[in-house]
Structure 1
Amino acid sequence: MSYELSGTVKEIFDEQTFASGFNKREFVVTNEADKFPQDIKFECLKDKVELVNKLKKGDSVKVSFDINGREWNGKYFVNLVAWRIESGAASAADDEPPPFDPADEILDEEPPF
């Protein structure tokens, strides 16, 4: 199952490459949908690291991600693994037509001056 979260990029961490050749890059998105803003850390793995390279602090984004959980030595870990990052700069107002302006009307007849 996949999930989505929208917010503003707060932090972008350096890419990490491990001896095995595995690489990842993490970033934090602040979600202000609730009363108290939440800082949520995501990670991109392998070829998805390129998605983070396009981000800047302050960008509005919508992140599609999966939740991965695992156990190691009796401890449990949860990771939010992003697989799509879309620019969220477009707001609901961008989906609406511009307000009516009579000056934009095309006249079918000569103006009366």
Structure 2
Amino acid sequence: MEITGKIIAVLPVQGGTSRNGNEWKKQEYVLETHDQYPKKVCFQIFGADRIDQAAIQPGEELTVYFDIDSREYQGRWFTNISAWKVERPTATAPQSAPGAITPEDMIPTSAPAAPDAPDFGPANPIDDLPF
């Protein structure tokens, strides 16, 4: 699976020692999508080498490829979103000849403003059904 958006939070690195005596590290990040109704997704990268390789910073635009895994512990279910690949968009714009008209030149400078999204009031997790 994949998701694209902006990194809005980089959480502290967590680590420890496994039962076998091996050191481990993971870091979690929060990505916000650019949908009409943006969603926030917390994903993790496991392994110090992968954390260093990704070098994710707040404010970055990324496409994150991930796996979802859920497991049960003492009657409760926990879900992890584990990233296995991170891509940064390439911002290479084609160069045009001097004086040539580009598509950006054809965009009017004063576009009408889009209407604001409706406000449905505060979310109530107990009763959020529309009927």
* Category of TM-score, reference length = shorter chain: 0.7 to 0.9
Unaligned 5+ segments in structure 1 are 104-113
CA distance in 2, matches of 1:51, 1:31: 23
Structure with the larger RCO, 1 or 2 (CA within 8 Å, 6+ apart): 1
1 or 2, which has the higher strand percentage?
A: 1
Q: TM-score, normalised by structure 1?
A: 0.73
- 1:100 is displaced (CA, Å) by 5.7
Structure 1's 89 and 11: CA in aligned 2 closer, same or farther, altered over 3 A?
A: farther
Asked which structure has the greater CA Rg, the reply is 1
1 or 2, which has the higher helix percentage?
A: 1
Is 1:31 the counterpart of 2:16 in the alignment? no
Matched AA of 1:36: Y
CA distance in 1, matches of 2:87, 2:6: 12
Other structure's SS at 2:40 match: strand
Aligned residues: percent identity? 27
Q: TM-score, normalised by structure 2?
A: 0.64
- 1:102 is displaced (CA, Å) by 5.0
Unaligned 5+ segments in structure 2 are 101-131
Find the counterpart in structure 2 of residue 18 from structure 1: 16
| Structure-to-structure mapping, 1:23-102, within 5 angstroms | 23-33=25-35, 35-46=36-47, 47-52=49-54, 54-88=55-89, 90=91, 94=92, 97-99=94-96, 101=98
CA distance in 2, matches of 1:71, 1:6: 29
Give the superposed CA RMSD: 2.0
Structure 1's 63 and 56: CA in aligned 2 closer, same or farther, altered over 3 A?
A: same
Structure 1's 9 and 75: CA in aligned 2 closer, same or farther, altered over 3 A?
A: same
1:18-65 deviation line (CA, Å, top 9, x unaligned): 1322211000110022x211110000012422244x121111000010
CA distance in 2, matches of 1:89, 1:38: 23
